[in-house]
Each structure stands twice: as C-alpha cells, then as structure tokens.
Structure 1
Amino acid sequence: MMKGKMFEIKRNLYVNCGALVLIILLATCVAKPTIEPEENKSEINGDEFKDNIITDDNTEFLKSYAAKMLSYMNLTVSPCDDFYEYACGNWKLVKPERQSQHKRSNLLDIVYTLLDKTEELLLSNSTLAKDLGYAHELRIAQQFYNACLSAELYPMPAADPAYLALIRSIGGFPAVDGDAWQASNFSWFNMSSHLTNYRAAGLINEHILPQYPFYPDFELPELGFDYIVHSDNIATNDTKGYKLNEKRMRGYLKTYGLSDEQVSDVIAEVFAFWREVLQIGDRFDENQYKCNKLSAKENLDPFPLWESYYDIAWGGVNFEKKTEEHFCEFYYYELDKVCAKHKPAVANYLAMKLLYTMDFKLKSTKFQRDHCMLQVHFSVPYLLDKLYLLKHFTDETKSEIANIIVELRKTFVLLLENANWLDEDTRKEALLKESTTEPRIGSFKNANLTEILIREMNNLTFVPGSYATNNINLKKFHANMKRYNGLHHKEMSNETKPLELLVGMQVNAFYFNLDNSINVMAGILHPPAYHQAWPNSLKFGTIGYLVGHELTHGFDTVGSLFDSTGASRNWWTNKSSEVFADRANCYVNHFNNFTIPEINRNINGNETKDENIADSGGLREAMSAYRSHMKQLQLTNENHFSNVLKNEQMPGMDLSPEQLFYLGFAQLWCAAYEEEHYWEELTSEHTMDKYRVLGAVTNDEDFAKSFNCPSGSPMNPTSTKCRIW
C-alpha cells in the first residue's frame, strides 16, 4: 500500500490500508527465512482506562497543543457550513516549512517526527546498536547519510557521468548521444523494464502484491514528472501541467550542454508522444478494468514482451501462477504502435524519467537534511525500526491502544447485533469474523526474517567520493528489497506475511484480509493521531477513528468477500447481500457529487467507495465507543464525574468533548495541495483529504447533533445519510 508517491498507500484486493504513509524498503538475501508466530496476545480489559486527570506534568503540554489546534482553525467559518474549512482552514498558513514533493498533510507530517527519531538513532553515541550486534550495519547507514549531507545536491547534477553511463547501458539518451544512438537497437519495453530496477515507473508501472507468491501487478503508466499529464491538462502550452513538466525537462537537458533550440525540440517531441499515448487511455477513461474488457472483446493474446520484463527485472524468476490477467493487453498493443513512431522521444523521456527518480527535487539547500534523512529512512528500515521500537515504543502506549481497540470492537459487535437488515445466518458469520480478528500493535514480529533483512545491508556498496553512484546503488537496493518476497517465494511458506507488516516505524495502519488482522503501526502513535496525555475525547476522535476505519475494512465490499479464517468465500445470503450492495451504492452516489474545482473533476465515488465506507464506519464506531467509555467512567467515578468531564476538554478551547472528538478527526486530514497534487490523487482509492472529512460528517447524525447543525445546512443535508454499519 505502493506507488512512487511518498504519501499514499495503494490498496489491492487483499490489503485494506488506512490511506496513510508507508515508510518501508524490503531486502534481498539468499538464506531461507522462517516465519515465527506472533507473540501471544494478552487479554486486556477495556474498562482499564485511566480517568485522564490532568496533572501538572501535562498541563503545559495540553495548553500548547490546544493552541496549535486553534491555529489550524478558521473560526470565521461556521462548522455547519464547511467543517473542513472550520477545522483546517489555516493549517496551510501555519504548517512548518519542510521538504516535500507531494501534498502536505497534518497526519502524514508525522513522518518528520520519525525523521527526527531516525537522526537521533544515527547520530547518538548510544551503545544500543553495538549491544545488539549491529554496529557495522549502523556505520553503513551513517556513511550514506553523511555522504548525502556533504554532497552538492541542489541543483541536481543530472549530467554526472555515473547517471549517463547507467542510461546508456539500459537504452540510451538520443538527445545527448545524437547519431551515436541507434533507433534500430532500441526497445522501449526493455528500457522500461530496466527502469523498474531503480523504482522508476516509466512505461511499466509495477506494484508487488502483498500475498504469496508476491508476484508483480501492474497499473496503467502515469506520464509526466512533477505533474501527471492527462489530455486536458496539457492541451495547450500555457497550462500548469505543460509548464511544470517543460521546466523539469529543460533543467535536465541544459546540464548536458544542449542549445535552447535543441532543448525545445526534444521537449516538443516528448509532449507529442505523451499526447498520442493519452489518446489510448481516453478510449476507456483510463480505467484498467474497462481496458481489460476491451482486451477480452478483441480476443487479444498476452502482450508478447512480458517475458523480457521478467528476465530483466526479476532475473528470470518463475512464478507458478503467471499474471497475464493483470495486464491491460489492449493498452500495451496500442502503446507499442505509438512507441514505434516516436522512438527518440520515448528514449529521451525514459532517460529523463530515470534522472527524475534519482533527483532529490530539493527546493532549497536548507531542505537537504530532510532529503538525506528520508533517503536513509526508506532505504534501511529494518535496522532503524528495531532500534526505534526498543527505544521509543513503550508497553504503556501499547496497553492503551489495546484498550481502545477493545472498546471499538465492543461497539462493532453491538452494531452487527443490531443491524436489522442482516439475516441471522449472515449475522452469525459476521460475528464469527469479528471475534477472530487479530489485533497487532507496533508491528508484526518475525525475528529471524528481520535479522536476515538487517544483515542484507552488508551487500549495499558505498563508494567514497561519488554520491551519484551511491544514489544509484541505494535505488537498486530499494528495488531489490521491495521484490524480496517474490524473489525468494520458493523458499517461503505460503503463510508468509507481506513485509509491510514487519516495519513498525511507519505512519500507517492496515487491515489484512488474508489473516483477518488489524495492524496499528508504532510510527503512527504521535500527534495528531495520538498522545498519551490527551483527553479520551481527542484520543477516540483520532486513533479511535483510525482503528475503527481498519475494523470496518473487514466488512466493506472487499473485506466482506473474506471469512473469519481469511479465506475468500461468499458467506452472505442473497437477501443480505442485496441490501449491502444498495447501502454501499449510497456512498458511490454521495461522493460522486463532490467537485474538485481546482481541476474541474469530480471525486470517483466507485473507486473510493471502500475507503469512504471505512471512514464513515470508523467515525461512527469511535463515537459510540467513546460514549460507552464515558458511561463506564460515570459508573465508576459517580462522585467525581464532573471533574472527569472537565478533563475531557482541551484548555483554552471552547468545545464540548464531543465537538473536540470531531475536531480531532478532521484535523488528521488538514492538508495543503498544489494543482498538480489533485491530479496525482485523482485516480487513488482514497478520497482527497478535504472531501473525506466532508463526506464523513455529512453522513453522520451525531456530528450534526454535536454542533447543532440545522437540517438542510451544508453539513446536515436533508438527503438520506449513507450507512452500512
């Protein structure tokens, strides 16, 4: 849950993810990994919450954090008119300045908190790594980090001989090599296959499926650099899409000494190639499923070049189950025709796409530390994760999250028991599935495999004095690690877990259908998602909602296709299934109505359906769990319950506990987008941040009551509210 976009997780048929950020890089080794069972779960009583009495130790922190929350808000807007603007309207004005090539988000900015922890682990004189026997591996990480800090990265030295040598070895750069480049020897498909070895998505957009045997899956290529191109956003040369991509290409080409006229000619040819390729996707609205239907209609054989991809990218690894059903045959047959007409333009584009992948994309030298830390953080996650969990992930935090999960599950059981549209046979299956859901907090434990992955760092080559070479080595290492399970699947059990679950130091949460588990990773347990000193109202509105989101994924339109054992099985009666489909379709229609004015497109309600169901369900479950928890506190603290209620608010904020609950939820998704970021997320299965907030609260009766929103107001429309659970 993954694209080459730092701030997105892709969810496929088997993994439901919480739309967060995945900080992970997989590793390659030849030793046979063994999967150890998860450590025994302890039963934790959901009634064991603290009363959250504010002490002198956390009063100042709460005041400071309340002031931060207030600074995000636009109090000139009524919460009943536009709750997102009310909660987040000023966030883009007060957010810290950091390096990011994609949108900024309050929740995903937790990554910068983790970067600070990473730097501390790298630079401290702690003996922790030495005591664990990882002193050598830590020195390797330090070497790459220090070399990155001292290198001249701004502007990117695109003409470094190491980059040009690599480009020439995989297909060539006709803009630079001129007549020495031979079109007759060029294969666009082979060059694209080589690019995947460096995590560059040229004309092959590879993703690794997170279940055994971990073979690759494919999506339609996204063309462009800083701005993903569509037919309408590069229709003329004065669009932002045209200008940003033109600027990026011009920057690379000028470093090779090309004249302005030569540069302009190369860029014009690339845009001509893009426009013709985009016409292919326009024939089926760039929807891969429609493309597959078109392939079947025309009775197309598998595109013949895929064996070359497996040879180049996977070293000829033979998967017992080939993946032809994932290929959009029609698209690749048509793409092959277009590429044959534009060979020099294709080669130039792919060469620059590789440079773009190697590029640090710094906006200023002051962001170099951010980039260098991100690079190390992504590249060697297993070592840093082990150190981080030992040093920063406490039993106390784990216990409180476990209690919150228990409360959410109690609520979800009640929802299943009281869903009058479920017949008894289906309800029985649903309750069985819920009862067998396994919670994991922090990360999945597999000590043997983690050890292997850490030791694989010893195969990472550091070259003094050539940061470009080190950069190339890291990118290739990254690609091999990402493919690790697939490359070694014959050595593994078919029960092997995806490596995404092993790294706790990531801002993420997952529901994993194949073992019916929810996974709350340690890295997400920082503000604005969680802090131990917060009142329960804020905790339930943030981490409680996120847990509820993952629980609901087990019962969305994909999760509902898997039973309590993680097997793909239809356990629904026809009657309940029909009602479920009608209720799910309500979300499709509801979100289809949201227009993104910045790009004049609508949210795709069908593509985002399951995430919207999970958002709505998670928010309802978290509020019900919070209310249930407060009733428990009232019974056990009847004489002092007024003090308990006071401690459910934040100092200096004129909000009731339930209003604070909803504010905490909304402020997870405070975000700042540039125009190009809307295109970047347009085809995502996650609704853009603003509309996931608005979509959830406009379907929530409790929200309307908490803020006294009159019927018919924008946040409390009179139309029927969508609800499954």
Structure 2
Amino acid sequence: MKVFLKSALVSALLAVSSANYASDQTVVTALSSGVSQQHFNKKIAPQQDFYQHVNGHWLDNEEIPADMPNWGAFTILRENSTQQLHDIVEELAKSKAAVGSNEHKVGSLYASYMDTDTLNRKGLEPLAPELNKIAGIKNQKDFTLVLAEFAKQHVTTPFDFGVIPDLKKSDQHALFFGQSGLGLPDRDYYLKDDEKLKKAREAYEQHIVKVLTLAGESQADAAKQAASILALETAIAKIQWDNVQNRDYEKMYNIYTLKQLQQLTPAFDWKTYFKATSLDKKAKTFIVTQESYFKDLNTILSSTPLSVWQSYLKFHVINGSSPYLSQAFADANFDMYSKTLRGVMEQRARWKRGVDLTNTVLGESLGQVYVAKYFQPEKKQRMEKLVDNLMLAFEQNLSQLDWMGAETKAQAHHKLKNFRVKIGYPNQWRDYSKLEIKEGDLIGNLRRANDFMYDIQLGKLANPVDREEWHMTPQTVNAYYNPMGNEIVFPAAILQPPFFDMDADDAVNYGAIGAVIGHEISHGFDDQGSRFDADGNMKNWWTEEDEKKFKEKTKALVEQYNSYEALPGYFVNGELTLGENIADNSGLAVAYKAYQLSLDGKPAPVIDGYTGDQRFYMGWTQAWRAKVRPELTLQLLKTDPHSPAPIRGRATLLNQDPFYEAFGVKKGDKMYLEADKRVKIW
C-alpha cells in the first residue's frame, strides 16, 4: 500500500577577478546583487567552466547531509519548507481543535506516524485485511477482485489507471490505463548487464527475501518466492515501453471499449475488474496508453501460476506499506530504496518523514496555513510583472523567428495569448470533510486517505475539468506547465532565493525565476507541448515544412546532450530529456530578452563589480548549484526527463550568444561552442 499518487501523465512538470567583467556604467547599490559570491571559485575562469566558477567553492566544501541523496538549491529550500511545515504541524497538533476539523486531522495523522510504540507492537497486524485477501485467492475471479481492491489502495500491480483531462477533449476527463508492476525504478534495472544495475538487481532480490522473512516466511521459502517474483517482474519489464517511447503521446492515445480491452488481454477478466472498481458506471470508453504491453501481458497472465501472483502481491503490499509499519520493515525499506538505490547513508529524522506524509495526505490543508504565514502578497505582484515581461519577450521572439512560416506563427501566437498563469496558491482549497483520520491507526488512515483520493478521481469522470485545480501544493518548491490546461503554475515556495529575491536587483531574478518562468512557457512549445493547441487539445497546428524544420532543430539538441557524460561511462539520454532541454535553453533565452525589456532602454547598474548581463547568467547557474550521489544520478539518468543539475547549469549557456559577450568567451575557451552548432529554437 502506498499513499495515493497521481498518474505519471498528470505531470505531463532549474582566475579572473570580478572587476575585469565590468564596463563603465553607473553604480547603483540600492538593491543587492543577489549573487552568492561566497560560493565562487575565482581560480577557475568563467570562460573555462562557468558552473565551477560560480559554484566551485560551495561544491568543494559543502557535504551532502547523510540523510539526503542530493543537496543544492532545490533541496535546501525543500528542507526549509519541511521545517516550516513541521512548525505548522506541531502548532496544529497542540491546538484543541474539534474532532473532524482539518486541524485535528493534521495533528492526528502526524501523531499516528510518530507513535512508534504502537507501530512496533502491532507489527504486520494492520495489513491483515490485505494479506488475508491474498491468501484467499483460489481462482482467477479471486485474483481479479484482489487486483481491483488493490487499485484503490495504490498497491503495485501489473497495470494501473488514472483520471486526467482527455488529451483531445481537454474540457472533459478521461480514464487512462498504463503499464506498471515493477519494484525497481526502471526496466533497465532488470534487463541490462551493466555492473551497477546488476548489483542493484541482486540487492533487490535479497530485499524481497528480507521483507518476506520479516513477514514470517522461512529463509528457504522466502528465497524461493523472491526468485519467482524477480523472474515475474523481469518478464513484465521486457514488455514495457521505455521512457523515450512513453513520451510519444500520439502513440499512447488509443481509445478502447471494455469489449476491445477484453480482446486485447483475454486472459484477464476485465468485466469483473471494471465492476469491482466501479469503472463500469463511469467510463464507456477509455485510453490504453501502451497497447503492445497489454497485448503481451496476456501471455504472462495466462502462464504465471496463482501461487506466484500471491507471492508477488504479498511482497508488494508489505513493501509499499513498510515505511508505515514497525521499525524493522521501515529499516528494510530504507536500506533498499534510499541506501542502495540513492546512496543515502542514514534515515531522515522521523519527524521529517512524518511531516512529509502529513503533507502528502493533507497538503492543501497545510498549504492554507503556509501561505498565510510565509507568503507575502508583494511577491505575487512582482512575479506578475516578471511573467508579463516573459510573455512579451516570448511573443517578440515568435514574431522574429526566421525558420517558422506565417501560418504556424499565427497559431503559436494564439496559443501564447491563451496561456493561463497561476501564482502562489489556489483560489479554492480542497475539502477534506469526508476524510476520516483516527489517532493510533496509521495504516487505517492511509487506507482511508487512498479511498478518499480514489473517490475524487472517479468523481472527475462525471464532471467537466476544473480549470482552477492545482497539481502542486503552495509549499512545493517547483513549478509546472500543464499542456491540457495550457497553463503555467508557480507555487509560493519556489518564490524565494536563489530563485526569487525580493531584495535583489532584477538581473539575478530574471536569470533564476525568470528563466523558470521562461522554461514553463517554453514547455508549451517543446517537442511534446507543441502537439497541443491553445485550448489544451492534442492537435497538429503546424505546417508540414515548419514541423520538419522544428524536428531538425530538436534533433541537433538531442545530439548535443547525448554527448554529456554525467557519470564515468554514463551519458545523458538526449531523447528522454529533450522536452526539458528545449525548455531550459529557450527559457533562458527568453528570460534574457525579458530582462532587456525590463531595462526600458536604460543601462543596467553595475553591482558588486558585475554588469547586469553577468549577474543574469550568474543567477541562472547558482540556481542549479547541486551535489548528487552517484547512485541517484544513475537512477535519474534512467528515469528523469531532466538533465542532471550541473549539466543544466553549464550546458545551457553554450547556446546563448549574449553569454559569450558578457564574459568575453572566445574560441579555444572550454565554454565556447562554434556559432553554427549553437541550438536556438524559441
């Protein structure tokens, strides 16, 4: 059992002295530069390695905390947010709130997680309902009913489903079915003979043994079951689409009826499954995202003994619930998923994990308090001005493109003018009145929370899309573009240094949060976002000639990023990261244009010896200051559509002409890329 998470498609969402940089301009010191010079390594010239020049001292001296897989601008702010949320949770927990109120629910959920004595005493007992159902599987119908029940509880099974706006009818919701079923992060962990992945696979098999022995199985039986579970998951991995294939939304949009799905996977009783999940009353048609997977899954379903499925389901029920069980199970989960797969040395403090869980379940309830306590209205006003300038800059860049014809430009302008912008927090908060939270019943609370979210998701199928809904809480340090809503969203928590500094001159803010804004706008025009029109519908609005030119440019960006080595012997996947790389490069270029517009023809001030252009690019690079453990880097290279932070902070600059002028980068410098190889799209 896991806490309910949205479908992955929903997320379909940074040795020269300074004096030598400056030119003769008026010095203004009313606002700070916003540049963290204490982190510089001035022994490394900006022309040779700008990322090290700006962040080198920090990189050389900062240690990743033992309980973290990475450390940098994002994670530091997230840790700060966790502390702020902890203060809120503690305050609410101590309040004499009425039973059933949001305040009482927050306090009770947090207390149920922190009550380790009760959790250790109960052991595996809270999972008795799920384990008894698995033990009671006698035939295919029983198996189907258990999978249906586990769908509501977000237990790992060979497939899952979610409700999001229809990709071609964005004002309506649709049901999407997709592949699932693995306990390791990606199919490559099962299929590649690479030494690091092989070791992770071996550790996973031993982890399965550990979990099953903790659940009462003998060592011999646990080892036998672990081998069968690993073999089953390997078979599932072989038929799964890889992450590059999963970026092709056109191929993933396949409308099915229940009858057609039964023909695609006849070994599974879809009629019983739909009835047990109440989907039969909600969706006459739905979307199957990976057709070949569901077709090939038929062989696995028909050839795998029920006893193997029982072992598989038992392990995944316990494995998904382990962080919320006794200490022994929580430790086993940490050893596999944090220590082995992400390189983390020690578990996070329990109060941090408790805050994370409470935030996941009751995020908007905490968000209301967070906004009132930590978000100043002036930030929203200044952000609105930044967004306006970024939108104007993007509009001007569109008009000046030399590779796009008038017909396509008109459609692009129409889409841009229809962008929705959300800043800070939602106008309407989630109603948690139907969610029951009890003290001393952690697994029960999570079970009810999953049921609560399941009902919300199913309820969407009968209603039009709510354009006011947010897919991140205000306390989330991130931002996103939603193609079906054609909207860009900036939660309150990202609007702080080093991304957004109210006390800093505009240059560094445009280089940091401005580039984040530009990044999200550019997602509307990356290789996937450009498939959606102004209303958020997947529709081709390109002429054939312009689409061809666009693909030539994106191909060049793929090749450029394929050459970047993130770990010895491991390179960035330029196809997997294409959308984010387009957004990074275009977003930074548009942010620079917006910064120039903000000056209104006046010269930028020199602050701390740096010109405005120099501070702009420093703002960008210091925002991507980060150290990442190699185990996590490997995992992200396989699964994450973003390039690693150091590459984002360095490589993006190579395609920016004004960067060369700002720092006098010339041929022969390591930061130099031949002009004809610089990729410029938007």
Q: TM-score range by the shorter chain?
A: 0.7 to 0.9
**2 CA distance for matches of 1:103 and 1:262?**
37
Give the alignment's TM-score, normalised by structure 1: 0.76
Cα deviations by residue, 1:685-718 (Å, 9 ceiling, x for unpaired): 3333333334422222223333333335443233
Question: Which residue of 1 is the match for residue 547 of structure 2?
Answer: 577
Q: Deviation at 1:470?
A: 1.6
Task: Say if 2:656 and 2:678, in contact at 8 Å, map to a contact too.
Answer: yes
Question: Which residue of 1 is the match for residue 285 of structure 2?
Answer: 321
Task: Say if 1:84 and 1:690, in contact at 8 Å, map to a contact too.
Answer: yes
Are 1:354 and 2:350 matched, yes or no?
no
Task: Say if 2:243 and 2:576, in contact at 8 Å, map to a contact too.
Answer: no
Task: Say if 1:339 and 1:346, in contact at 8 Å, map to a contact too.
Answer: no
Task: Say if 1:426 and 1:576, in contact at 8 Å, map to a contact too.
Answer: yes
Within 5 Å, which residues of 2 pair with 1:233-382?
239-281=198-240, 287=245, 301-304=263-266, 305=268, 306-314=270-278, 316-324=280-288, 326-327=290-291, 328-337=293-302, 339-340=304-305, 342-343=308-309, 345-356=311-322, 358=324, 361=333, 367-382=349-364
**1 CA distance for matches of 2:29 and 2:95?**
34
Q: Deviation at 1:395?
A: 1.9
Are 1:119 and 2:83 matched, yes or no?
no
Q: Deviation at 1:544?
A: 0.3
Task: Say if 1:192 and 1:203, in contact at 8 Å, map to a contact too.
Answer: no
In structure 2, the residue corresponding to 1:441 is in which secondary structure?
strand
Q: Deviation at 1:307?
A: 4.0
Q: Which amino acid aligns with 1:711?
A: K
Question: Which residue of 1 is the match for residue 561 of structure 2?
Answer: 591
Cα deviations by residue, 1:338-376 (Å, 9 ceiling, x for unpaired): 533844543444344333464655575761011000111
Task: Say if 1:215 and 1:486, in contact at 8 Å, map to a contact too.
Answer: no
Question: Which residue of 2 is the match for residue 722 of structure 1?
Answer: 679
Specify whether residues 189 and 321 from structure 1 end up closer, same or farther in structure 2 by C-alpha distance, changes over 3 A only: same
Q: Deviation at 1:579?
A: 1.9
Within the candidate set 645, 670, 680, 2:606 is matched to: 645
**1 CA distance for matches of 2:149 and 2:172?**
22
Within the candidate set 460, 467, 470, 1:500 is matched to: 470
In structure 1, the residue corresponding to 2:155 is in which secondary structure?
coil
Within 5 Å, which residues of 2 pair with 1:478-497?
478=450, 480-481=452-453, 484-490=456-462, 492=463, 494-497=464-467
**1 CA distance for matches of 2:238 and 2:538?**
37
Specify whether residues 626 and 273 from structure 1 end up closer, same or farther in structure 2 by C-alpha distance, changes over 3 A only: same
Specify whether residues 52 and 444 from structure 1 end up closer, same or farther in structure 2 by C-alpha distance, changes over 3 A only: farther
Q: Deviation at 1:256?
A: 3.3
Question: Which residue of 2 is the match for residue 637 of structure 1?
Answer: none
Task: Say if 2:426 and 2:469, in contact at 8 Å, map to a contact too.
Answer: no
**1 CA distance for matches of 2:316 and 2:60?**
34
Question: Which residue of 2 is the match for residue 604 of structure 1?
Answer: 573
Question: Which residue of 2 is the match for residue 200 of structure 1?
Answer: 155
Task: Say if 2:78 and 2:477, in contact at 8 Å, map to a contact too.
Answer: yes
In structure 2, the residue corresponding to 1:724 is in which secondary structure?
coil
**Which deviates further from its counterpart, 558-567 or 226-235?**
226-235
**2 CA distance for matches of 1:561 and 1:81?**
38
**2 CA distance for matches of 1:129 and 1:196?**
36
Task: State the number of aligned residues.
Answer: 637
**2 CA distance for matches of 1:674 and 1:588?**
23
Within 5 Å, which residues of 2 pair with 1:683-702?
683-702=639-658
In structure 2, the residue corresponding to 1:322 is in which secondary structure?
strand
Gaps in structure 1 of 5+ consecutive residues:
19-50, 173-180, 635-640
Identity %: 17
In structure 2, the residue corresponding to 1:439 is in which secondary structure?
strand
Cα deviations by residue, 1:626-666 (Å, 9 ceiling, x for unpaired): 233235454xxxxxx7xx422xx4xxxx7554333323323
Q: Deviation at 1:134?
A: 10
Specify whether residues 259 and 336 from structure 1 end up closer, same or farther in structure 2 by C-alpha distance, changes over 3 A only: closer
**1 CA distance for matches of 2:176 and 2:365?**
28
Q: Which amino acid aligns with 1:165?
A: A
Within the candidate set 470, 487, 501, 1:517 is matched to: 487
**2 CA distance for matches of 1:168 and 1:240?**
30
Specify whether residues 52 and 229 from structure 1 end up closer, same or farther in structure 2 by C-alpha distance, changes over 3 A only: farther
Within the candidate set 442, 446, 467, 1:474 is matched to: 446
In structure 2, the residue corresponding to 1:682 is in which secondary structure?
helix
**1 CA distance for matches of 2:509 and 2:243?**
41
Are 1:665 and 2:623 matched, yes or no?
no
Q: Deviation at 1:409?
A: 1.7
Question: Which residue of 1 is the match for residue 496 of structure 2?
Answer: 526
Q: Deviation at 1:619?
A: 0.6
**1 CA distance for matches of 2:181 and 2:52?**
31
Within 5 Å, which residues of 2 pair with 1:52-91?
70-71=38-39, 77-88=44-55, 90-91=58-59
Within the candidate set 589, 592, 595, 1:620 is matched to: 589
**1 CA distance for matches of 2:3 and 2:473?**
18
Q: Deviation at 1:309?
A: 4.2
Q: Which amino acid aligns with 2:422?
A: R
Task: Say if 1:249 and 1:352, in contact at 8 Å, map to a contact too.
Answer: no
Task: Say if 1:444 and 1:502, in contact at 8 Å, map to a contact too.
Answer: no
Q: Deviation at 1:260?
A: 3.9
Question: Which residue of 2 is the match for residue 703 of structure 1?
Answer: 659
Question: Which residue of 2 is the match for residue 150 of structure 1?
Answer: 115
Task: Say if 2:109 and 2:439, in contact at 8 Å, map to a contact too.
Answer: no
Give the alignment's TM-score, normalised by structure 2: 0.80
Task: Say if 2:557 and 2:578, in contact at 8 Å, map to a contact too.
Answer: yes
Q: Deviation at 1:548?
A: 0.4
In structure 1, the residue corresponding to 2:489 is in which secondary structure?
strand
